[in-house]
């Protein structure tokens, strides 16, 4: 028998921006294979996370995905959904709202974020009481003058890959101290699981380093001339991947137009500060789409066009602090109105 450490991870009930929570369960196992069938549900005090009242505080953690934890000996990362004691999904459970049981929808999320200095509460590379050189030289830069935080970013990439996440890349973004990673999964629920586990690993890496991760889409203020952070959602279903029809692509894009409000409601808090029509964004009050247009709400990638309208679409509106479960659920609901 060996003792294994199971880190149960869940989303709390804070609204509109949920936070990651986790706690460790140590169990004795013989020849543990790292499968969901080998572990069970757990519970937590929902009154401490805005998910229950003190008089009836037990909430249930239902494991939905498990990954090896490369930073721990005999450790595993367990992504869970929150359920009520009666077995129904908790109202904070966005994963349970996803209508994609056959995994027809594929998602690739581009997670942007800022690495912040805990002492100055400014992004790396920002001097106290001032500003670094204007943005322009930071994007995909190399060298100590313009690149800040690479050690953390590289370590995070290694951990994600070792954990078995379908991690697809990293790059420094347009502002100083701003980075991005990309994840892709066949299945909306799986894509959401992997983004949340990747965020967990990133947040945990900052502990004891004098840093923290800022997912606010505009942490430097809405009036500052610096790019905000988004989480562009690249998505497809079997129709988009195979239709070969410019007209069908247009129909799917237009299906989003009547539901601008419904999408923005789940695309992240403070997104109005980011979606201004500047800095490669469409205004939050507008809706547009176009081929290779990074200023549009939805972009048709040029690669999809070159392949004869077979590929995917990119919704550029989701903010960096958005919940990938809720974002995917809303996109799927809209697309299913036409296909």
Q: What is the pLDDT of residues 95-128, one digit of tens each?
A: 999 999 999 999 999 999 999 999 999 999 999 8
106-335 and 2-93 share a CATH fold? no
Q: CA distances (Å), 170 to each of 70, 122, 156, 245, in order?
A: 19, 21, 10, 32
In terms of Cβ atoms closer than 10 Å to its own Cβ (0-12, 13-18, 19+), residue 149 is buried
Q: Decide if pLDDT at 278 tops 90.
A: no
Coil, strand or helix at 20: strand
Residue-level pLDDT at 277: 84
Mean pLDDT of 300-306: 98
Read off the pLDDT of residues 190-233 as tens digits, 9 standing for 90 and up: 999 999 999 999 999 999 999 999 999 999 887 777 889 999 99
2-93, which class in CATH?
alpha beta
Q: 324-335 and 246-255 are packed helices; what angle lies between their axes, rounded to 10 degrees?
A: 120
- Give kind and range of the element (H or E) at residue 233: strand 231-236
Domain extent listing, the chain? 2-93, 106-335
Give the list of residues 6+ apart from residue 182 with CB closer than 8 angstroms, or none: 108, 109, 110, 111, 167, 168, 169, 170
Which two tokens mark 37? Answer: 């069938």
Cβ-contact 11, 21 below 8 angstroms? yes
Residue-level pLDDT at 221: 83
Cβ-contact 276, 284 below 8 angstroms? yes
Residue-level pLDDT at 324: 98
Give bridge partners of residue 22 from the DSSP assignment. Answer: 9
Give the list of residues 6+ apart from residue 103 with CB closer than 8 angstroms, or none: 186, 187, 188, 189, 190
Residue 337 φ then ψ, to 5°: -75, -20
Cβ-contact 116, 214 below 8 angstroms? yes
Residue range 106-335 in CATH 3.30.590.10: yes
> What is d(CA 293, CA 299) in angstroms, rounded to the nearest whole number?
6
Which two tokens mark 120? Answer: 């100055």
Cβ-contact 322, 220 below 8 angstroms? no
Residue 52 φ then ψ, to 5°: -165, 165
Q: Decide if pLDDT at 270 tops 80.
A: yes
**What does pLDDT average to over the chain?**
96
Residue-level pLDDT at 321: 98
Read off the pLDDT of residues 53-97 as tens digits, 9 standing for 90 and up: 988 899 999 999 999 999 999 999 999 999 999 999 999 999 999
- Give kind and range of the element (H or E) at residue 174: none
């Amino acid at each position: 028998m060996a003792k294994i450490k199971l880190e149960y991870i869940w989303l709390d009930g804070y609204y509109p921006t949920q936070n990651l929570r986790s706690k460790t369960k140590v169990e004795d196992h013989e020849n543990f294979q790292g499968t969901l069938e080998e572990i069970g549900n757990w519970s937590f005090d929902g009154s401490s996370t805005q998910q229950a009242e003190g008089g009836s505080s037990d909430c249930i953690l239902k494991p939905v995905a498990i990954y090896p934890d490369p930073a721990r000996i005999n450790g595993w990362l367990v992504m869970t959904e929150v359920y009520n004691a009666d077995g129904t999904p908790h109202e904070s459970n966005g994963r349970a709202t996803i209508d994609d049981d056959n995994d027809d929808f594929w998602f690739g999320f581009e997670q942007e974020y800022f690495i912040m200095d805990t002492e100055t509460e400014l992004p790396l590379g920002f001097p106290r009481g001032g500003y670094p050189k204007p943005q322009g030289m930071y994007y995909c830069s190399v060298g100590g003058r313009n690149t800040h935080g690479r050690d953390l970013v590289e370590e995070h990439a290694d951990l994600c890959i070792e954990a078995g996440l379908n991690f697809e890349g990293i790059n420094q973004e347009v502002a100083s101290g701003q980075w991005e990673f990309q994840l892709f999964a066949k299945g909306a629920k799986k894509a959401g699981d992997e983004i949340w586990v990747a965020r967990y690993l990133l947040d945990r890496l900052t502990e004891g380093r004098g840093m923290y991760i800022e997912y606010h889409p505009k942490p430097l203020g809405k009036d500052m001339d610096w790019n905000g952070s988004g989480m562009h959602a690249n998505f497809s279903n079997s129709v988009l991947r195979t239709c070969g029809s410019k007209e069908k692509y247009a129909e799917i894009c237009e299906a989003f137009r009547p539901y601008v409000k419904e999408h923005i409601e789940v695309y992240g808090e403070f997104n109005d500060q980011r979606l201004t029509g500047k800095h490669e964004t469409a205004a939050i009050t507008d809706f547009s789409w176009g081929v290779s247009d990074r200023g549009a709400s939805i972009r048709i990638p040029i690669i999809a066009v070159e392949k004869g309208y077979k590929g995917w679409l990119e919704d550029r509106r989701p903010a960096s602090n958005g919940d990938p479960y809720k974002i995917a659920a809303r996109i799927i609901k809209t697309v299913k109105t036409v296909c």
